């Protein structure tokens, strides 16, 4: 292929999952680091993307009062949107020199005893795959920056324009998004189809780095991405992260138990 790979309407969605409750603090009481997920999104992501709405996110969350974390603002419903108007927060498009407008939105929520969010950035244009790095400035969406205690998933969506096979395109998308010096342990672990279009899973369990690349040839398929679809997808990814979290916790507890028994 002589032309560089190109994609249309690319988007990246971050789904981080962070423990909200800590039984040691009392029944349904927030953990001491419960607000870190929101603080990291403001500090690490808001500053890199420069969306005013993201940098002032805490002003729109019901779990903040006068700029300070206050979980008392949440109601007794264990599943709720945390934006004060009960809806997602859309960002004003950013105009970038020599580049398409950047769009974004965020929907912070609470699922049972955890915080999570649907944070999406996207271009309504055709770009070179190499420019996907613009959707992850300075690696701000990677796990070491977000530091979600339960784990996270990144979903990269794109419509192929110029490419040499879906798998090759997915590999290049991940490489461009993560950036130079990509961790060799971030490897493809599964392939499949979602609504009839190829989807690829990349994973590095040690760093809790989980990336899905969904490539769509038919733009009409995006009409199937409804509110119900997002609800089911978030809960599925949350269940995955929770299972892996509990499994790793159990392994650590078993190791400590062996040490105590040896003494």
Per-residue pLDDT of the chain (263 residues; tens, 9 = 90+): 578 899 999 999 999 999 998 766 667 788 889 999 999 999 999 999 999 999 999 999 999 998 899 988 887 777 899 999 888 999 999 988 888 999 999 999 999 889 999 999 999 999 999 999 999 999 999 999 999 999 999 999 999 998 889 999 999 999 999 985 556 568 899 999 988 899 999 998 877 899 999 999 776 666 666 768 888 999 999 999 899 888 777 766 656 677 677 77
Which tokens hold the place of 70?
Answer: 């206050």
- 155: number of Cβ within 10 Å: 19
| Distance between CA atoms of residues 190 and 18, nearest Å | 25
Instruction: Note the pLDDT tens digit of each residue in 115-126.
Output: 999 999 999 999
Q: Tell me how far the alpha carbon of residue 65 is from its chain's centroid.
A: 26
Backbone torsion region of residue 179, taken as left when φ is above 0, otherwise alpha when ψ lies between -120 and 50, otherwise beta: left
Is residue 172 helix, strand or coil?
A: helix
């Amino acid at each position: 292929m002589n032309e560089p790979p190109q994609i249309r309407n690319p988007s990246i969605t971050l789904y981080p999952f962070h423990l909200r409750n800590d039984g040691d603090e009392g029944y349904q009481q927030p953990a001491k680091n419960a607000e870190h997920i929101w603080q990291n999104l403001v500090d690490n992501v808001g500053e890199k993307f420069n969306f005013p709405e993201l940098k002032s996110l805490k002003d729109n969350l019901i779990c903040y009062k006068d700029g300070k974390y206050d979980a008392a603002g949440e109601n007794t419903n264990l599943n709720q949107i945390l934006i004060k108007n009960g809806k997602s927060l859309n960002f004003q498009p950013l105009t970038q020199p020599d580049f398409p407008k950047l769009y974004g939105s965020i929907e912070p929520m609470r699922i049972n005893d955890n915080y999570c969010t649907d944070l999406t950035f996207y271009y309504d244009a055709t770009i070179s795959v190499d420019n996907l790095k613009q959707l992850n400035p300075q690696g701000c969406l990677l796990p070491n920056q977000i530091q979600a205690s339960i784990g996270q998933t990144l979903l990269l969506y794109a419509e192929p324009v110029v490419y040499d096979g879906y798998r090759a395109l997915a590999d290049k998308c991940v490489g461009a998004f993560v950036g130079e010096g990509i961790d060799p342990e971030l490897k493809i672990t599964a392939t499949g189809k979602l609504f009839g279009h190829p989807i690829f899973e990349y994973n590095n369990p040690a760093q809790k780095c989980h990336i899905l690349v969904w490539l769509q040839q038919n733009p009409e398929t995006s009409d199937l991405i409804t509110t119900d679809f997002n609800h089911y997808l978030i809960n599925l990814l949350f269940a995955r992260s929770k299972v892996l979290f509990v499994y790793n916790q159990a392994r650590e507890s078993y190791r400590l138990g062996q040490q105590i028994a040896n003494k």
